[in-house]
Structure 1
Amino acid sequence: MKTTDRILESIKRNGAVTAKQLSEEFGMTSMGARQHLQALEEDGLLQFEDIKAKVGRPNRHWSLTPKGHDQFSDRHRDLTIQVIDAVEHLFGQEGLEKVALERENSVYQSYRTAMQDCLTLHSKLQKLVELRSAEGYMAELQQTPSGFLFIENHCPICKAATRCRSLCQSELNVFQRLIGDDYLVSRTEHIVEGERRCVYAITQ
């Protein structure tokens, strides 16, 4: 993977970064990091914001532009949008909701089969990270004092989910069904709402 691609993936996963942070992560000079960042800005993939520091000059933080986010896969998005439009035209909003429900049940059954040997919450979530990462969601798991955060740094169906919000709700439903009624799954960050990632809090 090229250095520029690795930089984009790092920012996609971790959020805004300074040239100093990037130089430490990739073992390059700050000047080299700045050159890469500026080149990506010229390509329209990155943007920056100067944030005032407590002491000295402001720190320049670099983040992905919409074009930068589009460098990551959004599987079959044009075809998917066309299908969604056709379903809505032929069957209305009710038809879209039925399609989302059918997809929800199919995904749930597939995941449940893959997770059948997972007996603990942690093992279920680790398997879910594996499954979702294989599908392009760049998933990770973090433990918190109150439970877990299930994080998806990318949404490969984002365009479709923006067009059909029932898809987002069905994904939340799938997670809740897999985890079970002993725990609550709530979405605290949402890519479709303009945030950098989707985050689900799992608490008891």
Structure 2
Amino acid sequence: MIKVIVMNKRTPTKQKLLNILKKDHEMMITEIMEYFTISEIAVRKHIHELVQQGFVKRKTIKQSMGRPYYVYELTKKGHDTFPNQYEKLPLELLQDLEALQGKQAVNDVLARRMERERDFFEKEIASDEFDEKIAEVARIQDEKGYMVEVEKTEEGHYEMKHFNCPISNIATEYRQVCRNEKIVFDDVFPTSEVISHSCITSGDNFCKWTIKAPKKA
């Protein structure tokens, strides 16, 4: 019996595979084939390409007896191909808060977030050495999805660029987010001058910071 999953008839095979794995989670190739009339070789080719692209992962299941077998499941990247409200919800909640309690309530929430960010950097960064601290900040921001690039100038200063802003929808509506980021960097580098040159939320291609080397005593 061929199983049917509701979807557009013109849905490409790869999208159909993503839909199936979204619905049934971990699946063996024999289970996946119940949804297809094309050859198993063709289906395996599409699965292999999805694995290579990072949308699907293959997992080995060991048994107490017999050979292990493989199952396929979506990665986070695979799940992210489906519609969601993750980006809209935080902004809508802040807008609702502002409508109910005023702008100051939103500023208080964003200030609380700033304190949490500052505490996180303080816990994560072990070194007080300028170059090492820059590297740690770049690593942390990159892991958060900011797509960081850092260059050291001849004067010993650092230029840090963020090519992505994971919270741009909120920062565009509430510019306090960008101002708070500057405050956090000022606190992380208390002996340096931190200068903001450009900002994604202002229409620039990236956020650019100069973090000047501390003056030698």
Q: TM-score, normalised by structure 2?
A: 0.57
1:145 to partner: Cα distance: 2.9
| Distance of 1:91 and 1:125 partners within structure 2 | 39
User: In structure 2, what residue type is equivalent to 1:164?
Assistant: Y
1:76 to partner: Cα distance: 2.8
Match of 2:121 in 1: 111
Post-superposition CA distance 1:112-139 (Å, at most 9, x none): 1000x21211111100111111110001
1:48-87 aligned within 5 A: 76-87=86-97
1:38-187 aligned within 5 A: 76-115=86-125, 117-146=126-155, 147-180=157-190, 182-187=191-196
SS in 2 for 1:145: coil
| Distance of 1:130 and 1:186 partners within structure 2 | 20
5+ residue gaps, structure 2, are 1-80
| Distance of 2:86 and 2:135 partners within structure 1 | 27
1:149 to partner: Cα distance: 0.6
Q: TM-score, normalised by structure 1?
A: 0.60
| Distance of 1:201 and 1:112 partners within structure 2 | 20
User: In structure 1, what residue type is equivalent to 2:107?
Assistant: E
SS in 2 for 1:97: helix
Provide the aligned C-alpha RMSD in A. 1.6
Identity over aligned pairs, percent: 21
5+ residue gaps, structure 1, are 1-70
SS in 2 for 1:140: strand
Asked if 1:198 is matched to 2:196, the reply is no
Greater per-residue helix proportion: 1
1:92 to partner: Cα distance: 1.2
Q: Does the aligned pair in 2 maintain the 1:84–1:164 contact within 8 Å?
A: no
| Distance of 2:87 and 2:173 partners within structure 1 | 11
After the TM superposition, list the runs of 4 or more consecutive aligned residues in structure 1 that deviate by more than 2 angstroms.
none
Larger gyration radius, structure 1 or structure 2: 2
SS in 2 for 1:109: helix
| Distance of 1:76 and 1:184 partners within structure 2 | 35
Structure number with greater CO (CA < 8 Å, separation at least 6) is 1
